[in-house]
Amino acid sequence: MPAPVICWFRQDLRLSDNPAWTAACKTKSRVIPVYILDDENAGPWKMGATSRVWLHHSLTALDKSLAGNLLLLKGRAEDILPKLAKDHGASKIFWNRCYEPWRIARDSRLKDTLTDQGIKCESFNGSLLWEPWDIKKQDGTPYRVFTPFFRKGCLSANPPRAPLPAPQNPVLFPTNKTTSEKLNLLPTKPRWDTPMLSHWTVGEAAAQIRLKEFIEHRLKGYKDGRNYPARNNISRLSPHLHFGEISPNQAWHASIESGIKNHAENDLDCFHSELAWREFSHSLLYYNPALPEEPLNKKFTSFDWNTPDPDLLEKWQKGQTGFPIVDAGMRELWQTGYMHNRVRMIVASFLVKDLRYHWRVGEDWFWDTLFDADLANNAASWQWVAGCGADAAPYFRIFNPTTQGDKFDPQQEYINKWAPDSHQIKPILDHAKARDAALEAFKVIK
């Protein structure tokens, strides 16, 4: 029989519109599907506790789609894959590209090792609408402002490719597999993840259902409604996109038909621009590998952030600040592993402007508590709020949590759902005084 091939699943836990999986199946060889939990190379950016819970269930769903043939391994990929190929006589390895700095460095080392071993490697774009190196300004430099990135860069480039159908009847190579339980992704008792998961269904099939429901029932009205956390005009696709249970190409193309049919062109354009923000964040990370740790605006390098008070920080983390919209957002995160995007900006502004804690304090907390914790999105978004990132909010833009709540949750439906007792909590600070102090401190950046 011909030598088997390996398909290495990463941030693409699906079978439809998966270029690497499609290419592997087209060889007509027996395919070894494998996932490797590589915490060693990830270092400080290994997945947080909440993301690991989603990963467990996503791998379980993918394994079911593969009739129980998904091989799950743990360790350094550059050690595991060459040995796996040698042990099974595999001739070629397929994977979809990842864009985090540590993954790029590891994949480069791995490709050299496999090539020296005589094993061919093929990589594909299965995670982004456009490759970071394809969207540049006319002078060849990457964009640092979103609007021209999207309007002049993305929309002037080749349109996103059409989604690929799932290969039919792939021939799988039987291996001595490991179940997802062996990866130890779930928390030990008490099982804090159980209430979180009650708000979600994980896996490729669930992602497709969520996309269908969004484009049919919630895309119309998205442009305005997405700013109001009590409304249902959001997609909630971010965890599915992050783990690759659905591709951005599938979301892009499926939304076009619905947007045109329902005369929702402005909503469609807004949704596409949100997908493009994801692209922009990945471009920023690709060209600025230190993005998760260092400010893009070097004026912030020596800014004198406040040393976090453990008690005040915990009150922010647990939604006990006495500012209802902040508390509602932080409790939504605590209970669901997700937070509405408008509220993410409000709680982030409260941390970096009112409390004046370093943006990395918030970045680290979101990294550990969000189901959709994405290195590019998380770093770029926190820097945006702090004012030190690309296309960032200016240092003097400080959200008033009270007026934000009044404007975007006027009936307090969102607040009453997640933090009905917050009105009874004494505020941990005076916003007006905190704002004045922040403006004075940030003058050094001016």
Residue boundaries of the structural domains of the chain: 5-126, 128-159+203-287, 298-445
Q: Is the pLDDT at 446 greater than 80, yes or no?
A: no
Query: What three-state secondary structure class fits 73?
Result: strand
* Cα gap 191→254, rounded to integer Å: 37
Q: Is the pLDDT at 189 greater than 80, yes or no?
A: no
Q: Is the pLDDT at 320 greater than 90, yes or no?
A: yes
Q: Residue 394 — pLDDT band, cuts 50, 70, 90?
A: confident
Query: 5: Cβ–Cβ under 8 A, 6 or more apart, which residues?
Result: 24, 27, 29, 30, 31, 32, 90, 91, 92, 93, 94
Q: What is the dotted CATH code of the domain comprising 5-126?
A: 3.40.50.620
- Domain spanning 298-445: which CATH class is it, in words? mainly alpha
Mean pLDDT, rounded, for 77-88: 95
Q: Residue 180 — pLDDT band, cuts 50, 70, 90?
A: low
Higher pLDDT: 249 or 396? It is 249
pTM of the prediction?
0.96
pLDDT tens digits for range 359-373: 999 999 999 999 999
Q: Is the pLDDT at 445 greater than 90, yes or no?
A: no
pLDDT of residue 397: 87
Q: Looking at the structure, give the CATH architecture of the domain made up of residues 128-159+203-287.
A: Alpha Horseshoe (1.25)
Q: Is the pLDDT at 377 greater than 80, yes or no?
A: yes
pLDDT tens digits for range 91-105: 999 999 999 999 999
Phi-psi region of 214 (alpha: psi -120 to 50; beta: other; left: phi over 0): alpha
pLDDT of residue 339: 98
Angle at which helix 265-287 crosses helix 248-261, to 10 degrees, equals 160
Q: Residue 178 — pLDDT band, cuts 50, 70, 90?
A: low
* Cα gap 320→423, rounded to integer Å: 10
Query: 244: Cβ–Cβ under 8 A, 6 or more apart, which residues?
Result: 10, 11, 12, 13, 14, 18, 96, 126, 127
pLDDT of residue 2: 82
Residue 270 in tokens: 């807004």
pLDDT of residue 420: 97
pLDDT tens digits for range 148-176: 999 999 999 999 999 999 999 999 998 76
Query: What three-state secondary structure class fits 94?
Result: strand
As beta bridge partners, residue 73 has: 36
Q: Residue 391 — pLDDT band, cuts 50, 70, 90?
A: confident
Q: Report the greatest alpha carbon distance in the chain.
A: 75
Mean pLDDT, rounded, for 415-443: 96
pLDDT of residue 175: 76
